Amino acid sequence: MNSLLSITLTEMNTASFSIDANYHLDAKVPPGPLEQKWQHFKSNSRLVSPANRKKYHIIVVGTGLAGASAAASLAEQGYNVSTFCFQDSPRRAHSVAAQGGVNAMKNYQNDGDSVFRMFYDTLKGGDFRAREANVYRLAECSAHLIDQAVAQGVPFAREYSGYLANRSFGGVQVSRTFYARGQTGQQLLLGAYQAMMRQVGLGKIKSYSRHEMLDLVVEDGMAKGIIARNLDTGELGRYAAHAVVLATGGFGKIYYLSTLAMGCNGTAIWRAHKRGALTACPSWTQIHPTCLPQSGSHQSKLTLMSESLRNDGRIWVPKRKNESRAPIDIPEEERDYYLERRYPAFGNLAPRDISSRAAKERIDAGYGVGKMKNAVYLDFKDAIHAQGKETIRKKYGNLFDMYHKITAVDAYQSPMLISPAAHFSMGGLWVDYELGTNIPGLFAIGEANFSDHGANRLGANSLLQACVDGYYILPYTLPHYLAALSGEPVPSSRSEAFGIAEHEVNNSLQQLLTIQGTRTVDDFHRELGKILYDKCGLIRSENGLKEAIKEIDELMGEFYQNLKIPGRHDEMNDELEKAGRVADYLEIGKEMCIDALSRNESCGAHFREEHQTPEGEALRNDKEFQYTSCWKYDKQKPMLVKEPLQFEVVTPTERNYK
């Protein structure tokens, strides 16, 4: 069995990637018992004295929860910070769209929660494909985030008594989710944004909105700054600093139809990758089970309906194929509550990857509902009956309103139609325990990195991760890096490395403009999205992935022959912006497929058809694949570097939610 597997691996090597067994990756996990590691780091880390901090310049790209919280916290300590975002205000980063909630181990409900349990839930949720020490720290730092957010004025939901309220979320059996109506992300982000703007007002942060990072500048092996384009004028600028932090969010928009904002992109991390930063598990994408289904080819995005709805909504499909009756006319005994049937212990709150696959299984088997037969029902009938319409309105009113706005259907009367959509990138830039990439001086935080979520992220854990990275971890680990620079001046942006980077960016923009073919950027993006959704989405297979790689290669070829962008580079040009992102997406998509192909097992959201249990669940292969797949850039043949995952405290088990 083993030798067979290694043969297939070797065969594939020659085809699409190679393995670098000598590359040494240092995860920098501190010594000592799990629960003392973070304390150990903090007690032993280097510090910069208050008087010296203003001499250090830090660039933070991205002003979502991760970037804004990091920028504010570092500026409060006295560092000079510059922030960048592509929207017209830092407050519009896509963190703003998170609805359901943020997890924290407060155990206010006295229902058995603990740091260890939260750590274990997260690690198990991620199918034992994350670093123990990082995950433990996430749980450990979670409680204080709630204190910080409340102090900033985040209006979390409360009981009548005035105490903070909680709800439960998928994949866990305690109530540890804090929420602010269905706008938790907006409220947390406003807290972080306001903290950041306070520092802007105090002159400690310089904020560049409508500036897109288009390259990382690396000199003597260290990150020294970025090249950014002013999206309003088209002007390129050089920005130098002692350290660069990428907090650029997820790239799930690569699937075109996704729950992400239109501008979300992988450009910043991809350009850093091309300059030497390793990616990790780029293909691990969370497909969210409760989104509005696609209704036609014009569609530009799929709106998420918060997972919190699964607390009270029951998911079902008709027992009969091609059912034509309206849902309210289908009697109880002719409905298949397939999640409750398959996963009695967790029922409608089964983790996302499992719920999404279960939906896809029913839809593919011909039980889908709706105009395009691509959806399942999410029904509130029983909850309204048991709790009353008012209670349901209070809990989810804005979500029901949103559903009504988009579909013109009243979900108090008739069940919602939902279907799976691309949502979250577990994969991203590889980081060590200190959130540093393999390029000294380059850090990655929030959704942009691969760290805590393993092969599947639990709901309400990523707002947490973005905040914990930005408020509590980077403000310790980045100064630890800066202190070792012992007073070096700010790098010069007139250096050769800056010159080359700027020149290359300029050339690539010009190149895109000169093609003048016949297809729009969106047209290419849609095609790429479809390839990835079909072949590197919920279910993957060796053949499918190989086909996808071929198709992407062809599409990339056509892109550089037949793309059409109007306008010039030295002016505002939305199509040019999008084209740069799609050019990167094509390359990322290919690396995703290679990543998925190289992992001959199923784990979490990475479901390889060839590897499943008789009941159709993901079948891990710990013996061969208990490692993080890190990738070194090469346009033709990326190189795989393995970071072995060692479990000292927990024993990986089969993820069972039955």
Ligand X SMILES: Cc1cc2nc3c(=O)[nH]c(=O)nc-3n(C[C@H](O)[C@H](O)[C@H](O)COP(=O)(O)OP(=O)(O)OC[C@H]3O[C@@H](n4cnc5c(N)ncnc54)[C@H](O)[C@@H]3O)c2cc1C
Note the residues at the interface with ligand X (CB under 6 A): 61-67, 84-87, 93-95, 97-102, 184-185, 212-213, 247-250, 259-260, 265, 267-268, 304, 423-424, 446-448, 460-464, 466
DSSP β-ladder status, 335-336 and 442-444: unpaired
Query: Residues 216, 217, 218, CA angle at the centre, nearest 5°?
Result: 115
Nearer to other proteins, 341 or 394 (CB): 394
The listed partner (other proteins, ligand X, none) that binds 190, CB under 5 to 8 Å by sort, is other proteins
Token pair for 89: 């205000």
Among 35, 340, 522, 527, the residue binding other proteins under the rule CB under 8 A is 522
Among 3, 22, 49, 300, the residue binding other proteins under the rule CB under 8 A is 300
| Torsion over CA: 251, 255, 256, 259 (sign) | negative
> Interacting stretch for other proteins, rule CB under 8 A, among 281-289, 322-330, 403-411, 596-604?
403-411
Distance CA 137, CA 130 (A): 12
Nearer to other proteins, 302 or 605 (CB): 302
Nearer to other proteins, 147 or 235 (CB): 147
Buried/exposed code over 230-263 (b: 16+ C-beta within 10 A; e: otherwise): ebeebebebbbbbbbbbbbbbbbbbbbbbbbbeb
Q: What share of the chain is helix, strand, coil (3-state, %, to 5)?
A: 45, 15, 40
The listed partner (ligand X, other proteins, none) that binds 424, CB under 5 to 8 Å by sort, is ligand X
Q: Which of 92, 238, 342, 352 is catalytic?
A: 352
CB of 63 to other proteins, least distance (A): 11
Q: Is 275 a catalytic residue?
A: no
Distance CA 393, CA 396 (A): 5
Is residue 338 a contact partner of residue 315, using CB atoms and an 8 Å limit?
Answer: yes
Token pair 């600028």 is found at: 237
Token pair 């509130």 is found at: 380
Among 57, 181, 224, 342, the residue binding other proteins under the rule CB under 8 A is 181
The listed partner (other proteins, ligand X, none) that binds 181, CB under 5 to 8 Å by sort, is other proteins
Distance CA 140, CA 76 (A): 23
Which residues pair with residue 424 across a beta bridge? Answer: 286
Among 40, 198, 320, 480, the residue binding other proteins under the rule CB under 8 A is 198
Nearer to ligand X, 305 or 354 (CB): 305
* Alpha helices per DSSP H over 536-635: 542-562, 574-598, 622-625
CB of 131 to ligand X, least distance (A): 18
Among 299, 510, 561, 653, the residue binding other proteins under the rule CB under 8 A is 299
> Interacting stretch for other proteins, rule CB under 8 A, among 199-207, 272-280, 453-461, 579-587?
199-207
Residues 621-640 that bind other proteins (CB under 8 A): none
Calculated CA dihedral for residues 98, 142, 134, 35, nearest 10 degrees: -160
Among 410, 488, 570, 571, the residue binding other proteins under the rule CB under 8 A is 571
Which residue type does 452 have? D
Which residue type does 194 have? Q
Binding track over 425-464 against other proteins, x by CB under 8 A = ----------------------------------------
CB of 429 to ligand X, least distance (A): 12
> Interacting stretch for other proteins, rule CB under 8 A, among 311-319, 452-460, 558-566, 617-625?
558-566
Establish if 43 lies at the interface with other proteins (CB under 8 A).
no
Nearer to ligand X, 272 or 640 (CB): 272
Establish if 506 lies at the interface with other proteins (CB under 8 A).
no
The listed partner (ligand X, other proteins, none) that binds 567, CB under 5 to 8 Å by sort, is other proteins
Nearer to other proteins, 336 or 575 (CB): 575
Establish if 89 lies at the interface with other proteins (CB under 8 A).
yes
Per-residue HEC secondary structure of 303-366 comes to CECCHHHHHCCEEEEECCCCCCCCHHHCCHHHEECHHHHHCCCCHHHCCHHHHHHHHHHHHHHH
Token pair 């969010």 is found at: 249
Establish if 160 lies at the interface with other proteins (CB under 8 A).
yes
* Measured CA distances, 424 to 129, 259, 455, 558, 609 (Å): 16, 8, 11, 28, 21
- List the beta strands (DSSP E) in 38-191: 57-61, 80-84, 102-103, 177-178
Write the CB contacts of 126 (distance below 8 Å, at least 6 apart in sequence): 135, 426, 452, 453, 454, 455, 456, 457, 458, 604
Nearer to ligand X, 263 or 441 (CB): 263
Among 221, 388, 489, 566, the residue binding other proteins under the rule CB under 8 A is 566
The listed partner (ligand X, other proteins, none) that binds 320, CB under 5 to 8 Å by sort, is none
The listed partner (other proteins, ligand X, none) that binds 267, CB under 5 to 8 Å by sort, is ligand X
CB of 433 to ligand X, least distance (A): 18
The listed partner (ligand X, other proteins, none) that binds 461, CB under 5 to 8 Å by sort, is ligand X
* Alpha helices per DSSP H over 229-380: 267-274, 338-342, 352-362
DSSP 59-89: EEE--SHHHHHHHHHHHHHT-EEEEE-SSSS
Give the DSSP letter of residue 206.
E
Q: Which of 200, 193, 199 is closest to 87 using CA atoms?
A: 193
Token pair 């607390």 is found at: 311
Token pair for 16: 């699409």
Residues 340-369 that bind other proteins (CB under 8 A): none
Nearer to other proteins, 108 or 625 (CB): 108
The listed partner (ligand X, other proteins, none) that binds 160, CB under 5 to 8 Å by sort, is other proteins
Token pair 């960048």 is found at: 84
Establish if 32 lies at the interface with other proteins (CB under 8 A).
no
Token pair 């409608």 is found at: 348
Establish if 97 lies at the interface with other proteins (CB under 8 A).
yes
The listed partner (other proteins, ligand X, none) that binds 61, CB under 5 to 8 Å by sort, is ligand X
DSSP β-ladder status, 80-84 and 205-208: parallel
Nearer to other proteins, 200 or 478 (CB): 200
Among 41, 108, 256, 443, the residue binding other proteins under the rule CB under 8 A is 108
Residues forming the active site? 352
